[in-house]
Amino acid sequence: MISRHTLALVLALASCSLGATTYTLEPRHSMGTIRWAHLDFSNPTAQFNEIEGTLEFDPAAPAKSSVMVTIPLSHLTSGVADLDEDLRSPTFFDLDKYPVATFTSTRVETTAMPDQLKVTGNLNLRGVTKPVTLDVTINKVGTNPRLHLPAVGFEATTTLKRSDFGMGKYVPQVSDEVTIHITSQADEAKGYAALMKADAEEAAAKTAKK
């Protein structure tokens, strides 16, 4: 019987023709942090994880790349219970109304450094859409040795004003500008989907035997 990894590799190689490859962001290895200044004494952070999305990427022509990302804000946490309540409240992210944020790229630019890009796109947060530019560093392009799939990893940073998205309370005591840092790993989409399907079927079979 063909193994799940062999099946995924066959599908990946079949789909990786010349040109851009479609990748799926791994939710377990894609996450970010938000950092702000509090009274200029400290720089607290909050983390969001399980980022989902797709990436079109060709290392030979990175300017033709594109990315679409969904961030489930229900996972947003600072590690401080009362601060988390504030962040999730209507004063800030208002998660009951706006449970996700999205980013869709509109332009990718190369820089003097071969592993660095500028990715501009539309960030939709709390019902407001604004253009945002990310400084992106490509960590690695190669093969994921665990999944045996083509993979790419990157870091992305940007600074934006929270007041632009309707979250301006406590400015300037709490800084208007916040810094966002995202790290992500993405695997070839068809092979990754095949692995996830195989895992789900295996889990279902085990459950059925119990």
Residue-level pLDDT at 208: 82
Q: What is the mean pLDDT of residues 181-198?
A: 96
Residue of 111, 91, 104, 107 whose CA lies nearest to 165: 91
Reported confidence tier of residue 9, pLDDT bands at 50, 70, 90: very low
**What is the radius of gyration, based on Cα positions, of the chain?**
19
For residue 11, the enclosing domain spans 4-209
Residue of 176, 21, 48 whose CA lies nearest to 102: 48
Residue-level pLDDT at 14: 43
In 10 A of CB 36, how many CB atoms? 17
Q: Which whole-number Å values give the CA distances from 128 to 6, 98, 163, in the listed order?
A: 44, 10, 11
Counting residues of the chain whose pLDDT is more than 70, the rounded percentage is 91
Q: What is the mean pLDDT of residues 150-171?
A: 97
* pTM of this structure: 0.87
Q: Tokens 């791994």 label which residue?
A: 26
Tell me phi and psi for residue 4, to 5 degrees: -60, -35
CATH code at 139?
2.40.128.110
Counting residues of the chain whose pLDDT is more than 90, the rounded percentage is 84
Q: Which residue has the higher pLDDT, 53 or 2?
A: 53
Reported confidence tier of residue 6, pLDDT bands at 50, 70, 90: very low
Residue-level pLDDT at 193: 95
Structural domain total, the chain: 1
pLDDT digits (tens, 9 = 90+) for 80-96: 999 999 999 999 999 99
Residue-level pLDDT at 10: 45
Cα separation, 43 vs 172, in Å, equals 14
Residue-level pLDDT at 18: 53
Cα separation, 191 vs 7, in Å, equals 8
Tell me phi and psi for residue 10, to 5 degrees: -60, -45
Q: Which residue has the higher pLDDT, 205 or 45?
A: 45
